[in-house]
A = this chain, B = another copy of it.
Amino acid sequence: MAGEREIRELTVDLGERSYPIYIGAGLLERAGALFAQRGLPVKSPLLLVTDASVADRYAGIVESSLRAAGYAVSRAVVPSGESSKSLGRFDDLITAALEAGLDRRSTVIALGGGVVGDLAGFVAATYMRGVRFVQIPTTILAHDSSVGGKVAVNHRLAKNIIGAFHQPEFVLYDLNTLTSLPAREVKSGLAEVVKHGLIWDAAFVEWCDSNAQRLLALDPDALGYALYEGCKVKAAVVSRDERENDLRAILNLGHTIGHALEAVGRYGELLHGEAIAIGMVGSARLAARFGYAGEIAETTERLFRKIGLPVRIPAGYDTEAIMKAMLHDKKFMEGQMVFVVPTAIGTVEIRSDVPAAWVREIVEGLKEEAGVR
């Protein structure tokens, strides 16, 4: 089928730091050729960072392709899961980079989901004050995390609090890798896909609604299109505001509540996409408090239910703990609460005048009663 062979290409437009995103099936096998084509130095060793679930399936394919193109590549594997986004793992990877002999012209490669991308990206941003970086995302969620250059690790007290802006040389997205994704991860990733529609493109939200079943079944045509559209929104926003001075903050729709829920669940209970799905329902309810159409909240909630994402805060999550977690959030500034609030499906505004009392009420209202969903 034509769709499976097709390579979609997009550009993240950042002047001299512009870079392409390639989306298609079977791209891992072509990694070596693409590295050479993009001019990545062949004399300096590469470090491929991946996680335990991805390594066995895909690292060998990438390494063989790179070696065939003349590159020397070492592999560093971290445990799967959010807990690897820590300073401890970061330290281990710096050790691995030194032991592999990486120099200033070397490239760090992230092969995996957003965890590996954020962690390896922070290594690339800081090793010798910055080396080249390539993103090879293997989750749906990573269509978001691999584009835009935000890299980070977590701190005990706050998520993503230690980080940098470090753009990749390019993003190589092989749709074939997504076939092994656990169903729960597929749904979690679709939360960020829908987010890109909710902030920027009402027609794409409708398309997601009509094609939810195809996406859940990992239909390659539907998936290729959805990831292309999602990346397109991300690229458009990032091109306009790389360092989050203003516009880029709209990408945080649902994330203020979402990050707090992840923290309260100790980064183990809710997946990132699940947490922000609940957060986006919360933001839509905030929109209603500001007088925008109640239909925003209804559509948001219905679409996430259709995908099989949670839309309620799990029973047992303490409201005060959630509120407290939000106070350490980057979007809390100068004593006021800042939220991204939808004004209609496909468009949002940033409000810095959100009363904490409203947020508390909405958090309370989103709580699942024990046994009920």
Interface residues of A (CB under 8 A from B): 43-44, 87, 90-91, 94-95, 98-99, 103-105, 125-130, 150, 152, 155-158, 161-165, 244, 328, 330, 332-335
Contacts and interface: CB of A to CB of B under 8 A. Distances in A.
A333 B98 contact: no
Contacts of A155: 91, 94-95, 98
A43 B161 CA distance: 20
Contacts of A334: 43-44, 103, 105
Contacts of A94: 155, 161-162
Contact of A161 (B127, B162, B165, B332): B127
A80 to B, nearest CB: 23
Nearest to A332: B103
Contacts of A156: 95
Nearest to A150: B129
Contacts of A244: 129
Contacts of A87: 87, 90-91
Contact of A164 (B99, B103, B129, B150): B129
Most buried by B among A43, A91, A152, A156: A91
A87 B328 CA distance: 21
A328 B97 CA distance: 10
A152 B129 contact: yes
A94 B86 CA distance: 13
Given A94-B161, A129-B163, 9 more contacts: A44-B334, A87-B91, A94-B155, A105-B333, A126-B163, A128-B330, A129-B244, A130-B164, A164-B164
A305 B43 CA distance: 42
A162 B165 CA distance: 15
A159 B4 CA distance: 48
Contacts of A165: 129-130
Contacts of A105: 333-334
Given A155-B95, A155-B98, A162 B330 contact: no
9 contacts: A43-B335, A44-B334, A87-B90, A94-B155, A94-B161, A95-B156, A98-B161, A99-B157, A105-B334
Most buried by B among A90, A104, A126, A157: A126
A235 B332 CA distance: 36
Most buried by B among A44, A125, A129, A244: A129
A330 B103 contact: yes
B130 A98 contact: no
Contact of A126 (B127, B162, B330): B162
Contacts of A150: 129
A103 B244 CA distance: 14
A103 to B, nearest CB: 5
B158 A98 contact: yes
A170 B105 CA distance: 31
Contacts of A335: 43
A130 to B, nearest CB: 7
Nearest to A245: B104
A157 to B, nearest CB: 5
B95 A128 contact: no
A333 B157 contact: no
A109 to B, nearest CB: 19
A263 to B, nearest CB: 12
A302 to B, nearest CB: 35
Nearest to A165: B129
A164 B125 CA distance: 7
